[in-house]
Amino acid sequence: MKIFHNFPYPYVNGAPHIGHTFSFFRADSYARFKRLGGYNVLFPQGFHATGEPIVGTVERLKQNDASQIETFKLFGASDEDIKDFVEKGPEFVAQYWMNKWMELLKKSGMSIDWRRTFITAITPHYNKFIEWQYNTLRKKGYVVQGTHPVVWCPHCQSPTGDHDRLKGEGESPIQFYVIKFKLEGGEVLPCATLRPETVFGVTNIWVKPSEEYVVIELERERWIVSKETVEKFKDQLRDVKELEKINSDVLIGKLAENPVTKEKVPVLPAPFVDLSFGTGIVMSVPAHAPYDYIALEDLKKTEAGKKLGVENIFPKKIIELEDYKGIPAEEACKAYHIENQTQVEKLEMATEEVYKKEFHKGRMIVDPFKNIPVREAKEKTVELLKSLEALDYIWEITGLVICRCGTRCHVKILENQWFLKFSDEEWKRKVKECISMMKFYPEEIRQQFVNTVDWLENKACARKTGLGTRLPWDKEWIVETLSDSTIYMSFYTIYHYLKQIPIEKVNDELFDFIFLGKGNLKEISKKYGIKERLLEKMREEFEYFYPVDLRTSGKDLGAESLNILFVPSCRNLGR
């Protein structure tokens, strides 16, 4: 009886930490226990170097980044080593830390089969294995090229996958509505929102005071947006022409017309406005948005506010629900003890709460959608705005994302990007079938896996920078960090034999034979001058040990990473 189990290959941009030790001991204890029970246990260990992080650390070392140097020294690197890191580059760094890992794991007595150890992006035979996978997926129609919104780092000029982020794991592109308010001169003040129905409750427009804004030409209109928005629109394939720069202070006090109510509302200053989010122009709905409510309260306390007549602006309630007797945003601010607009964390929580409650339980109390539930009113407002030519769209991220290089990301519409077709329904069905046959410890997490399969959409599978395997048919793209870590466990079953074969002889035909049983043994052996017995051994060992029997991991790495692993596994290798 065999047992094949392993610990997910760790990323080698430093030495192991205490959490790794905990998980490794669990894996090792299990291996030893099963061996005592007479099982033939395969417990291999590889390492992961694909993607941006290691390249990023070398960049930071080149800039003499004190905290990066400090971190490496804490992990045990000497001044000499750090000099080598800069001179010899990312691959050297990866190998250096891999050696440290192996040294420590050996010292701690892990019963690992080291003959099968490899490092992604650097081990040539592994790169060939990834090429085979992508050729195979592409033949089956599961790698597709398309135009899609992706989270994008303007500095790296590359999509930013989850593992390439310092901040913002799990955040993804989302389309915001843009509602067009008009100044008397005809310029558009575009306000991004996810709640178009609240346009009926707008009392004013916010801009960030004393900042550079830009007048642009878009769709034959003159729009005023933050400087940051211009880049975003360009990346989202909008035809933007920059006309002139202005200071936001010239806008303050002007009146803008609400496209649905035709009311004239003033433009006011608010420091909370984020120039990089939306358009840098915000429609203020103080009755239903905690930020707007508190910013208005803040402004009422200032001299500038008094001059602008802000004391005469009151929240305009347009949605009713049982949870709030009075003004929802005011009550939420009180409940969270929010006193001013700098309390971002509390404001985010209050905002989410009001939004959810109103969306699910609220009813409109103003014409023309009086008594209609909010979720329906939302659709109807969108239709109304469209008919008034007062609606547009902009892509945003569901939350803040910072790339490993330290740059804030935005959404770019990418043309000719390569995607893994995770949205495929047939694929999803098979994965769910596999999940239903698996055991989970604890059982509660099963549902997380099923949910993740449901929401998985096409995923960008290649970047233009970082370490990794190049797409065999489009060499400017490099397979990104999760997308080369899907069926790698199968590689453990054969690598100790495969590495005996010179790299130039390793190709798709070989992998087709080993993993899929395709082709004729004698012919392949003769064609490439590889011993029949060696080919047979690889096929046998794969068939014997695969699939994996147990996988242990940290709970934070659960659903998404592991699903990304399942989905292609089910597809490429049958089950």
Q: Is the Cβ of residue 357 or residue 404 nearer to Zn ion in the bound state?
A: 404
Q: Is the Cβ of residue 402 or residue 434 nearer to Zn ion in the bound state?
A: 402
Read off the tokens for 173.
């592109």
The distance of closest approach from Cβ of residue 154 to Zn ion in the complex, given in angstroms and rounded to an integer, is 8
Q: Is the Cβ of residue 16 or residue 159 nearer to Zn ion in the bound state?
A: 159
Q: Is there a contact between 572 and 143 (Cβ–Cβ < 8 Å)?
A: no
The distance of closest approach from Cβ of residue 164 to Zn ion in the complex, given in angstroms and rounded to an integer, is 7
Q: Is there a contact between 176 and 243 (Cβ–Cβ < 8 Å)?
A: no
Residue 269, H or E segment = strand 264-269
Judged by CB under 5 A, which of 41, 94, 130, 156 binds Zn ion? 156
3 state SS of 167: strand
The distance of closest approach from Cβ of residue 238 to Zn ion in the complex, given in angstroms and rounded to an integer, is 22
Q: Is the Cβ of residue 10 or residue 161 nearer to Zn ion in the bound state?
A: 161
Name the CA dihedral angle for 546, 550, 556, 560, rounded to a multiple of 10 degrees.
Answer: 30
Name which of residues 125 to 154 contact Zn ion (CB under 5 A). Answer: 153
According to DSSP, the residues that pair with 267 across neighbouring strands are 205
Q: Is the Cβ of residue 372 or residue 403 nearer to Zn ion in the bound state?
A: 403
According to DSSP, the residues that pair with 143 across neighbouring strands are 420
Q: Is the Cβ of residue 95 or residue 407 nearer to Zn ion in the bound state?
A: 407
Judged by CB under 5 A, which of 88, 140, 155, 360 binds Zn ion? 155
Q: Is the Cβ of residue 153 or residue 308 nearer to Zn ion in the bound state?
A: 153
The distance of closest approach from Cβ of residue 121 to Zn ion in the complex, given in angstroms and rounded to an integer, is 18
Q: Is the dihedral of CA 483, 485, 488, 492 positive or negative?
A: positive
Q: Give me the 229-268 binding string for Zn ion, x by CB under 5 A, dash otherwise.
A: ----------------------------------------
Q: Is there a contact between 485 and 50 (Cβ–Cβ < 8 Å)?
A: yes
The distance of closest approach from Cβ of residue 161 to Zn ion in the complex, given in angstroms and rounded to an integer, is 11
Q: Is the Cβ of residue 89 or residue 472 nearer to Zn ion in the bound state?
A: 89
Q: Is the Cβ of residue 155 or residue 375 nearer to Zn ion in the bound state?
A: 155
Q: Is the Cβ of residue 154 or residue 472 nearer to Zn ion in the bound state?
A: 154
Residues in CB range of 273: below 8 A, 6 or more apart:
206, 207, 208, 280, 281, 282
Read off the tokens for 180.
């067009």
| Closest alpha carbon to 564 in 400, 449, 393 | 449
The distance of closest approach from Cβ of residue 242 to Zn ion in the complex, given in angstroms and rounded to an integer, is 24
The distance of closest approach from Cβ of residue 107 to Zn ion in the complex, given in angstroms and rounded to an integer, is 36
Alpha-carbon distances, residue 74 vs 68, 254, 415 (angstroms): 10, 57, 43
Say whether residue 54 binds Zn ion (CB under 5 A): no
Q: Give me the 407-436 binding string for Zn ion, x by CB under 5 A, dash otherwise.
A: x-----------------------------
Residue 410, H or E segment = strand 410-420
Query: What is the DSSP-derived secondary structure letter of residue 471?
Result: E
Q: What is the rounded CA–CA span in Å between residue 121 and residue 92?
A: 12
The distance of closest approach from Cβ of residue 401 to Zn ion in the complex, given in angstroms and rounded to an integer, is 10
Conformation bin of residue 419: beta by default, left when phi > 0, alpha when psi is -120 to 50: beta
The distance of closest approach from Cβ of residue 71 to Zn ion in the complex, given in angstroms and rounded to an integer, is 19
Using CB under 5 A as the binding criterion, the count of chain residues that bind Zn ion stands at 6
Q: What is the rounded CA–CA span in Å between residue 276 and residue 268?
A: 18
Name which of residues 370 to 409 contact Zn ion (CB under 5 A). Answer: 403, 405, 407
Read off the tokens for 404.
């490993």
The distance of closest approach from Cβ of residue 405 to Zn ion in the complex, given in angstroms and rounded to an integer, is 3
Rg, Å, the chain Cα set: 28
41-76 exposure pattern, b = at least 16 Cβ within 10 A, e = fewer:
bbbbbbbbbbbbbbbbbbbbbeeeeeebbebbeeee
The distance of closest approach from Cβ of residue 159 to Zn ion in the complex, given in angstroms and rounded to an integer, is 10
Among the candidate windows 17-25, 156-164, 232-240, 266-274, which touches Zn ion by CB under 5 A? Answer: 156-164
Q: Is there a contact between 16 and 104 (Cβ–Cβ < 8 Å)?
A: yes
Environment class of 295 (CB within 10 Å of its CB; exposed 0-12, middle 13-18, buried 19+): buried
Chain Cα centroid distance, residue 314? 39
Residue 130, H or E segment = helix 124-139
3 state SS of 219: coil
Q: Is the Cβ of residue 403 or residue 570 nearer to Zn ion in the bound state?
A: 403
The distance of closest approach from Cβ of residue 156 to Zn ion in the complex, given in angstroms and rounded to an integer, is 3
Q: Is there a contact between 204 and 267 (Cβ–Cβ < 8 Å)?
A: yes
Q: Is the Cβ of residue 143 or residue 405 nearer to Zn ion in the bound state?
A: 405
The distance of closest approach from Cβ of residue 168 to Zn ion in the complex, given in angstroms and rounded to an integer, is 12
Q: Is the Cβ of residue 407 or residue 458 nearer to Zn ion in the bound state?
A: 407
> Which residues contribute to the site for Zn ion (CB under 5 A)?
153, 155-156, 403, 405, 407
